[in-house]
Amino acid sequence: MGDALKGGTASRRTLLSGVIAAAGLVAGQFVGLRSSRAGRITIRPPGALPEKDFLSRCTRCYQCGDICPNGAITFLPPKEGLAEAFTPVIEPRTQGCTACMKCTQVCPTGALQPVDPNPETVPGTIKMGMARLNKEMCYSWEEPARTCGVCYRACPFPGKAMTISLFERPTVNHELCIGCGLCEQSCIHLPQAIRILPVDRSQT
């Protein structure tokens, strides 16, 4: 009976979120309400379609967030604009993505395309964002260097998306970095010496 109640609650939440999202989209189209995020680029979960297509397919079902084992997927509140309200995002500074790709496997509409979690093929396959290192703030790149290396050890693709040299000085491989945010989350320098920048998802 407990499982039945739990399932019923989940179904009601999914239905309610869908109704709210649909109402918001209609209101945005006919009333002319604009997103407060206009001009800003969002970091979406892995496998996300180009932004316009993603927004048209995402039903705000919350399944991607429910299955995420790292709790990395959150949902935009209504104040961010009706067009994007309740859609999934990743805030790297709060919680990075472990690249398990489970969210891409449960998306019912294809807003998140399925991605094979094989660590040999993921780097270079998806691009949620891009890590940018500020060497002037990085402990390992300072003079004299204070070896750190926590970002490298947090990277799910060490030796590929990120490499290290003497004093554990990190270097980001922009071709293979997927923008998971684990490096930013782990950085012990405040403010963080490495951050995830959004990428333009209007075409890719």
**Amino acid letter, 197:** L
What are the pLDDT digits (tens) for 66-120? 999 999 999 999 998 889 999 999 999 999 999 999 999 999 999 999 999 999 9
**Amino acid letter, 66:** D
Write down how long the chain is. 204
- Is the Cβ–Cβ distance between 136 and 192 less than 8 Å? no
* CATH 3.30.70.20 intervals, the chain: 129-198
- Is the Cβ–Cβ distance between 101 and 122 less than 8 Å? yes
- Is the Cβ–Cβ distance between 162 and 153 less than 8 Å? no
CATH of domain 129-198: 3.30.70.20
Closest CA relative to residue 174, chosen from 133, 138, 204, 143: 133
What are the pLDDT digits (tens) for 151-191? 999 999 999 999 999 999 999 999 999 999 999 999 999 99
